[in-house]
Amino acid sequence: MKDIILTGDRPTGSLHLGHYVGSLKNRVTLQNTDKYDQFVMIADIQALTDNANNPEKIRANLLEVMLDYLAAGLDPEKTTIFVQSQIPALFELPMYYSNLVTMSRLERNPTVKNEIKLRGFERNLPVGFMTYPISQAADITAFKAKYVPVGDDQLPMLEQAREIVSSFNRIYNCEVLVEPEAILPENHGCSRLVGTDGNAKMSKSLGNCIYLKDDEKTLKQKIMSMYTDPLHINVSDPGHIEGNTVFAYLDAFATDADVSALLPEYAGLDEMKEHYKRGGLGDMKCKKLLNSVMQELLRPIRERREEFAKDRGYLLDSLSKGSAKAREVSDKTLGEVRAAIGINYFSGSLKLHL
Ligand code: ATP
Ligand code: MG
């Protein structure tokens, strides 16, 4: 049997470059190796945990995310793409798992802590949001996923999922659940891509994104107004690479061959960085290089997106078929989970103790 992969995205907006380099690109590579059974989930219920009063936003973005998947190269014939809300096991499993997790453990999760702060929830924190790591553990384990390609913000979630798996298997004396591992992008700068404003993470919620669907003009505008080095005022001033968004993106997206093809005076990115640090290399030139690289990367994705957008029926049909398959696989795990706990009363195994 092939190892299983599961990941997903919240349909709170269309997908951006952070998703692409953090996870989506890896998924396409893994899909095409033919070595794995891959499941990709549109996490609409997780999106409701902080958007309960705005379900329209989630409806509006469901097919947007599907389009981004297809445009980036996911193929429903090779990867099972499904919608979380259509899979009943994903609601039942968290009920069992939540008894294995303490409140203080949930409160310690650094990603959740950070997201609570970001959203300003304070006392009005929805219970569903607080417990979403448990629901995420259900998403992963329902498919017995061994690998989860994600950005590094998700590492605490995987840690939590592993703890749940090990508690479950120990308490119910079974080997039903599989401990998942993260697959992080090879390039370090990609596991948490900074926002165009220099903020530590490109995120839909922070409004600092370059979207896969951005047109040529929008992409150029976003690059031209990127945060660089506030101390690099004149071209001749020495510049800083650390914290400079343009160089963070060049690190993530440009190869040495790109640099030397477009700016032949440099053998590669390191030489260019040295020049910037010494002084004498202007931000505009760096941004133009980045723009060329990004336009090359995003053009084919955008074109494929436009093609797929012509066929709404195909998108819905693929999601519906994917969801049916995901239901089948996860129901099987759910049956095993119920049997391990011993609540499969009507399977003929219950005895009378007289
Ligand atoms: P939201 O603000 O609604 O939470 P988001 O932009 O954080 O949206 P998610 O849907 O939460 O996106 O994340 C989906 C996947 O993309 C996760 O695997 C996450 O690690 C990855 N990801 C998101 N943003 C980035 C980023 N800036 N760099 C690398 N990976 C990222
Ligand atoms: Mg997020």
Tell whether the model's pLDDT for residue 151 goes beyond 90: no
Pairing type for strands 79-83 and 3-9 reads: unpaired
Tokens in use for 130? 């607080």
Report how far ligand 1's centroid is from the alpha carbon of 71 (Å).
Answer: 18
User: Does ligand 1 lie within 6 Å of residue 114's CB atom?
Assistant: no
State which of 112, 203, 210 you would mutate to test the pocket of ligand 1, scoring each by most atoms of that ligand within 8 A of its C-beta: 203
Q: Which CATH fold would you assign to the domain 214-307? A: Tyrosyl-Transfer RNA Synthetase (1.10.240)
pTM for the model stands at 0.94
Quote the CA–CA distance of 5 and 28 in Å, as a whole number: 12
Quote the CA–CA distance of 149 and 24 in Å, as a whole number: 8
Give the CA distances from residue 23 to residues 30, 173, 322, in Å, rounded to whole numbers and listed in that order. 11, 34, 20
Pairing type for strands 181-183 and 147-149 reads: parallel
Specify the residue with its C-alpha closest to ligand 1, atom 23: 19
Of 137, 64, 46, which Cα lies nearest the Cα of 98?
A: 137
Where along the chain do the CATH 3.40.50.620 domains lie? Answer: 3-192+312-353
Could you list the beta-strand ranges (E) of 154-238: 181-183
User: Does ligand 1 lie within 6 Å of residue 210's CB atom?
Assistant: no
Domain covering 3-192+312-353 in this structure, CATH number: 3.40.50.620
pLDDT tens, residue by residue, 92-114: 999 999 999 999 999 999 999 98
pLDDT tens, residue by residue, 55-104: 999 999 999 999 999 999 999 999 999 999 999 999 999 999 999 999 99
User: Does ligand 1 lie within 6 Å of residue 23's CB atom?
Assistant: yes
Where along the chain do the CATH 1.10.240.10 domains lie? Answer: 214-307
The separation between CA 102 and the C-alpha centre of its own chain, rounded to angstroms, equals: 26
Give φ, ψ of 284 to 5 degrees.
-60, -40
Question: Residues of 21-53 as b/e, b for ≥16 C-beta within 10 angstroms?
Answer: bbbbbbbbebbeeeebbbbbbbbbbbbbbbbee
